[in-house]
Amino acid sequence: KNQVEQSPQSLIILEGKNCTLQCNYTVSPFSNLRWYKQDTGRGPVSLTIMTFSENTKSNGRYTATLDADTKQSSLHITASQLSDSASYICVVSARQAGTALIFGKGTTLSVSS
Amino acid sequence: NAGVTQTPKFRVLKTGQSMTLLCAQDMNHEYMYWYRQDPGMGLRLIHYSVGEGTTAKGEVPDGYNVSRLKKQNFLLGLESAAPSQTSVYFCASSYFGGPGTGELFFGEGSRLTVL
């Protein structure tokens, strides 16, 4: 069964600190992996999209890594800001017909001052 | 540049009532989707459309109907609302090529409560 598991479920860090969020998946055949940021009461916004051949991609202070062999991804946030407080959702796309996006439940990050 | 716009943003219904959620996108995207988001669960696909005049069932289609009469609009209907349909509904769109490849653009969500 195609699944996406994220950890931790929630995380609290101090402003200015770094943090890493994890995503493990059992999706096959794999097409791409995305990270979305969802602010409270808003829709998800894309941070990165990585295909099988890409093992790292950055978007400002956000850096995503992908290990397709172990089926793991991480999202590293550098020098966190209060505005980073949000839910971060890992989404894996299966290479098949129709809509094949499998969403993780998300990691809720709280950045405090 | 509005992107994806959903209306209404909030709605309270009584069990058995009907309603329609409207999604409009101004990016000329072929693909449009309706998802629901419930606490402790990932987003789940209700219905989707690969172009004007086409619709298809997603993961949790029961109790919902959709229509895509115009390319820019995707409507989600509840014919007889049930408390289990209390949720936050998100519309999304993507470029031709489908969600497996194209980037998804989401609306701000519509919070529906069924009493």
Task: Check CB contact of B38 with chain A, cutoff 8 Å.
Answer: no
Examine the pLDDT at A98 and tell me if it is beyond 70.
no
pLDDT band at A28 (very low <50, low <70, confident <90, very high): confident
Task: Give the span between the Cα atoms of A101 and B29, in whole angstroms.
Answer: 18
pLDDT band at A30 (very low <50, low <70, confident <90, very high): confident
Q: Does B4 touch chain A (CB under 8 A)?
A: yes
- Model pLDDT, residue B18: 96
CB contact under 8 A, B99 and A95: no
The pLDDT value given to residue B101: 65
* Residue numbers in B near A100 (CB within 8 A): 99-100
- Report yes or no: B51 and B30 within 8 Å, Cβ to Cβ: yes
Confidence of residue A31 (pLDDT cuts 50, 70, 90): confident
Q: What is the mean pLDDT of chain A?
A: 93
Regions of chain B with pLDDT less than 50: none
CB burial of A26-45 (b: ≥16 within 10 Å; e: otherwise) equals ebeebbbbbbbbbeeeebbe
Closest-CA distance of chain B to residue A18, Å: 25
pLDDT of amino acid B93: 94
Percent of chain A scoring above 90 in pLDDT: 81
**B22 near A CB under 8 A:** no
C-alpha to C-alpha distance for B82 and B15, rounded to whole angstroms: 5
Contacts of B105 in chain A (CB under 8 A): 46
What confidence score (pLDDT) does residue B102 get? 74
Closest CA of chain B from A45, distance in Å? 7
CB atoms A101 and B99 under 8 Å: yes
- In this model, does residue A97 exceed pLDDT 70? no
Chain-chain contact of A44 with B104 (C-beta, under 8 angstroms): yes
Is any Cβ of chain A less than 8 angstroms from the Cβ of B24?
no
More confident residue, A31 or A87: A87
A73 pLDDT above the threshold of 90: yes
The 10s digit of each residue's pLDDT in B37-52 is: 999 888 999 999 989 9
Between B48, B103, B105, which is nearest A99 by CB? B48
pLDDT value at A99 more than 80: no
* CB environment B61-83: b (16+ within 10 A), e (fewer): beebebebeeebbbbbebeebee
Residues of A with CB under 8 A from a CB of B: 4, 31-32, 34, 41-46, 49, 89, 93-96, 98-106
